[in-house]
Amino acid sequence: MPKLTTHAIRKLKGQRPIVAVTAYDALTARYANEAGVDIILVGDSMGNVMLGFENTVPVTLDMMCHHAAAVVRARPEALVAVDLPFGEAHYCFDRVLASCQRIVQETGADAVKIEGGAEIAPMLEKLNNAGIPVWGHIGLRPQQVLALGRYKKFGATPDEAGSMLSDALALEKAGVFALLIEMTDHECARKIAGEVSVPVIGIGAGPHCDGQILVSPDLLGLTSDYVPAFVQKFADAAAEYRKGFAAYAAAVRERRFPE
């Protein structure tokens, strides 16, 4: 399969659902790519599911570059996008451009995902003009959790739905190649997907989006603590991990390994 580009992802809208997952290392990226996913996101969700943090806020640009480079070394045909971490999108444009430039140049990633609505659209347009492909992210923005005080669903009221649609249209005009909408009312998500020409990838946003994304440890059954209610577990990898480690420990203690 040829390498998927932002242009190829855009063309999938209306053709078939787009499959996206997160990955944070070469091993996971290789297996996801073998399954034929379209997009691999190196998400700052690594803070929650891989690094032991309570949220995404402590994840730094250095961490994102480190993990993204590992994913790219798996040489996936899937498009690889990388989250711009907490706070980075709210500096001056020169600083934001330098951070995005670092992600693309140091890791070899294909695109950058940035949380924010109409308020950052002018900056995203300038990034696009500078050659940085941007995946927009609206609805629940996990990097705002300290200000929000909790994770919540968006778009359930007419005012919120209208604001989200305005955000989506502003980001589309700014040149994003796709939108991610998180924890969003299903009817609001349906309207946004129908109004914009770019693909809308949902997470906790219902079945009416142009594609779906899940955090890979969640869908594989590896997450040991809180898992969002919208997640479906497609495997029980944790059971296999436990069985394998227990079998190894028993074999060593009983002197059956090495033979």
Q: Which residues are catalytic?
A: 182
What's the CA gap between 205 and 226, in Å, rounded? 18
Annotate 48-93 with DSSP letters as a single string: HHTS--SSSTT--HHHHHHHHHHHHHT--SSEEEEE--TTGGGS-H
End-to-end CA, the chain: 43
Beta bridge partners of 112: 82, 134
CB 57 within 8 A of CB 86: yes
With CA atoms as reference, report the closest residue to 173 among 114, 121, 137, 130: 121
CB 115 within 8 A of CB 141: yes
Strand bridging mode 79-83 / 111-115: parallel
